[in-house]
Amino acid sequence: MPEAPAGVLTPDETLVRLARQGDRSALEELFRRHWDVSYRVVYRMLGHEQDSLDAVQDGLLKAVAHLDDFDGRSGFRTWLLRIVTNAAIDSVRKWKRRPSVSLDPNGDRSAGPEPTCQDDPARELYRQDLRRTLDTALNRLSTTTRTTFVLFAEAGLSYKEIADVQEIPIGTVMSRIFDARHKLQASLKLDRIEGIDS
Amino acid code (one letter) for 189: K
Cα dihedral angle (72, 74, 77, 79), rounded to 10 degrees?
-80
Burial (0-12, 13-18, 19+ Cβ within 10 Å), 102: middle
DSSP secondary structure letter of residue 10: P
Asked if 44 contacts 150 with a C-beta cutoff of 8 angstroms, the reply is yes
Helix and strand element counts for the chain (H, E):
8, 0
The per-residue pLDDT string of the chain (198 residues; one tens digit each, 9 = 90 and over) reads 455 445 578 999 999 999 999 999 999 999 999 999 999 999 988 888 888 999 999 999 999 999 999 998 889 999 999 999 999 988 877 765 444 444 444 444 444 444 444 556 677 777 777 778 888 888 889 989 999 999 999 899 999 999 999 999 999 999 999 999 999 888 887 766 665 555
- Give the model's pLDDT for residue 178: 95
Say how far apart CA 39 and CA 114 lie, in whole Å: 11
Say how far apart CA 105 and CA 94 lie, in whole Å: 27
Q: Which of 96, 82, 62 is nearest to 155 (CA)?
A: 82
Alpha carbon distance, N-terminus to C-terminus of the chain: 60
Domains by residue range for the chain, with CATH: 1-98 (1.10.1740.10), 116-198 (1.10.10.10)
Say how far apart CA 187 and CA 11 lie, in whole Å: 41
47 conformational bin, left if phi > 0, alpha if psi -120 to 50, beta if neither: left
Query: If you count them, how many residues does the chain have?
Result: 198
